[in-house]
Amino acid sequence: MKKRTRLVFILILLLVITSACGNSADEKAEGEGKAAGPLAGQPVTILTGGTSGIYFQLGNALAKIYGEELGAQTSAQTTGASAENTAKISRKKAELGFAMADTVTDAYTGEGNFAKAGALSNVRAVASLYPNYMQIVAPKKLGIKTLEDLKDKDLAVGALGSGTEIMAKRILEEAGITYDDVNADFLSFSEGIEGIKNGTTDVAFLSSGYPNSGIMELAATDEVEIIPVPKEITESLQKKYPAFEVGSIPANTYKGVKRDKETVKVNNLLITHKDLPDEEVYLLTKTLFEQLDALQNAHSSAKHIELEKAALKLPLPLHPGAEKYYKEKGVLQ
């Protein structure tokens, strides 16, 4: 009886070992598949923005693409978006970051919020992506319809020093409104939307592609108003800040908003630093455009990303690795 029990025990032990070895072989095979990629094991950190923003959605999709296609060890980090991303890229805290063109212009030239720190001259462009639109949202019941109506209101203008906050402040100033005329709260997208829901915020400024998930969520339960930025104000701003352009949010982008709304738009960029190896940036750029469908599935804003426009209207130099790819594809001479 004891011999039989011992034999059963040995058989079970052998089965466990065999199973464990089988699992190890499977895991190794999966790892070897990834290791075969041209960036096998190399870290690629992508700086995005808040979790309710489009940078976050596209950044996570891009991280997945680079992991699967290139074998890179990828991660997408939440951040305060444009300004923080540009500063971190300059300090080589990440390989890639999303940022708005006007913020990058200030950073590269050492102007605006970057005047104290000085020019971040080692930042380079990888690609011009899709436009951000300043979307100023308020509950319809408050009767806020124009920029002039924002005086004395509680405004969520974006995180302090963020690309959204910089843009919001410039729009307000062009309309003759300073922070002294309003109660400006430096809140993220999600905090601003939550403030409107809770009644602690009257108006939120969100600079993003459309549709913005936070505004969609708000419009699903409450009637909303999108406050326009008149074309005349944008054209005046453009003389000082060339990255700004006249834009429009189409009717029915958000539930209950039946008319097009004029606003300011500014291009988003994918940026890196000048010391990232040329071949690595070439592969990152090439893979982005070869896998554009996957990005478009992550958010519809990516449908505005076009290879033919990727090297246009850049406020800073292209990284040589990206330049190599664009020349190879015939979009640069």
> The domain that contains 169 carries what CATH number?
3.40.190.10
Q: Is the pLDDT of residue 21 over 50?
A: no
Residue 14 confidence class, pLDDT cut points 50, 70, 90: very low
- At 35 the pLDDT is 56
Residues 304-329 pLDDT 10s: 999 999 999 899 999 999 999 999 99
Q: Are 169 and 247 contained in the same domain?
A: yes
Q: Are 84 and 107 contained in the same domain?
A: yes
Please give the average per-residue pLDDT across 160-177, as a whole number: 94
Q: 26 in a domain, yes or no?
A: no
Residue 47: closest CA among 99, 114, 91, 90:
99
Residue 256 CB neighbour total at 10 angstroms: 13
User: What mean pLDDT value characterizes the chain?
Assistant: 90
Strand partners, 247: 263
Q: Are 165 and 279 contained in the same domain?
A: no
Three-state DSSP state, 296: helix
Q: Are 89 and 138 contained in the same domain?
A: no
Q: Are 144 and 116 contained in the same domain?
A: no
As a whole number of angstroms, the distance between CA 249 and CA 241 comes to 21
Q: 2 in a domain, yes or no?
A: no
- At 163 the pLDDT is 87
- At 19 the pLDDT is 37
Q: Are 151 and 204 contained in the same domain?
A: yes
- At 29 the pLDDT is 25
DSSP letter string, 48-68: ---TTSHHHHHHHHHHHHHHH
Q: Are 193 and 273 contained in the same domain?
A: no
As a whole number of angstroms, the distance between CA 262 and CA 277 comes to 41
The least confident of 14-18, 29-33, 151-155, 278-282 is 29-33
Q: Which of 240, 266, 292 is the last residue of a domain?
A: 266
Q: Are 181 and 262 contained in the same domain?
A: yes
Range of the domain at 51: 43-131+267-328
CB 319 within 8 A of CB 276: yes
Q: How far is CA 187 from CA 38, 164, 204, 214, in A?
A: 41, 10, 9, 13
Q: Which amino acid is at 91?
A: R
Q: Are 82 and 146 contained in the same domain?
A: no
As a whole number of angstroms, the distance between CA 106 and CA 98 comes to 15
Residues 62-107 pLDDT 10s: 999 999 999 999 999 999 889 999 999 999 999 999 999 999 999 9
Residue 51 confidence class, pLDDT cut points 50, 70, 90: confident
- At 291 the pLDDT is 97
Q: 221 in a domain, yes or no?
A: yes
DSSP letter string, 89-117: HHTTS-SEEEEEHHHHHHHHHT-GGGTTT
As a whole number of angstroms, the distance between CA 224 and CA 140 comes to 5
Please give the average per-residue pLDDT across 197-201, as a whole number: 97
Q: 16 in a domain, yes or no?
A: no
Q: Is the pLDDT of residue 23 over 70?
A: no
Q: 31 in a domain, yes or no?
A: no
User: Into how many domains does the chain fold?
Assistant: 2
As a whole number of angstroms, the distance between CA 63 and CA 161 comes to 26
Q: Where are the beta strands (DSSP E) in the chain?
A: 43-47, 73-77, 96-100, 123-139, 154-156, 183-185, 203-208, 224-227, 245-249, 261-273
Secondary structure letter of residue 299 according to DSSP: -
Residues 112-135 pLDDT 10s: 989 998 999 999 999 999 999 999
Q: 35 in a domain, yes or no?
A: no
- At 6 the pLDDT is 46
Please give the average per-residue pLDDT across 37-61, as a whole number: 94
Q: Which of 214, 246, 266 is the last residue of a domain?
A: 266
User: Residue 164: how many CA atoms within 13 Å on its side-chain side?
Assistant: 31
- At 241 the pLDDT is 94
- Displacement of CA 147 from its chain's centroid (Å): 26
**Is 0.85 surpassed by the pTM of this model?**
no
Pairing mode of beta strands 154-156, 43-47: unpaired
- pLDDT above 70 covers a percentage of the chain that reads 89
Instruction: Tell me the two tokens of residue 62.
Output: 């891009």
